């Protein structure tokens, strides 16, 4: 009855995957993206670098901006279309920018 054991094994694996996969996060990891793309300038905790005129993202000044304003800044460089922040043209997807926004919100003091 080797075949039967094999079938049971295959079913067991399928069931295990079915249970495990929805728990794996396919969502973009905003914290990791932030660390890779933003922390060098804005600091890991969002404090920025005042001496280098890099604004804090954890500050009231940044946090009082709307989601739309912050998203536009990160995706397109804001009202002045700063090329340094046109991350949508540097390969970040809308989902990744959304995840970054959520992370920036989590830096609020």
Q: Which is nearest to 55 in space by CA: 90, 87, 82, 30?
A: 82
Asked if 104 is part of the footprint of ligand HEC (rule: CB under 6 A), the reply reads yes
Asked if 74 is part of the footprint of ligand HEC (rule: CB under 6 A), the reply reads yes
Does residue 105 contact residue 44 with C-beta atoms inside 8 Å? no
Task: Give the largest CA-CA distance in the chain.
Answer: 74
Give the shortest CB-2-to-ligand HEC separation in angstroms.
55
Asked if 40 is part of the footprint of ligand HEC (rule: CB under 6 A), the reply reads yes
**Residue choice 72, 85, 99, 107 for contact with ligand HEC (CB under 6 A):** 85
């Amino acid at each position: 009855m080797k075949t039967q054991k094999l079938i049971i094994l295959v079913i067991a694996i399928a069931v295990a995957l079915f249970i495990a996969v929805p728990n794996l996060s396919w969502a973009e990891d905003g914290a990791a993206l932030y660390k890779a793309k933003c922390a060098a300038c804005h600091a890991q905790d969002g404090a920025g670098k005042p001496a280098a005129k890099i604004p804090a993202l954890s500050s009231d000044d940044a946090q009082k901006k709307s989601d739309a304003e912050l998203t536009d800044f990160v995706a397109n460089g804001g009202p002045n279309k700063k090329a340094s922040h046109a991350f949508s043209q540097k390969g970040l997807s809308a989902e990744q920018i959304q995840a970054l926004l959520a992370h920036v919100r989590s830096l609020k003091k």
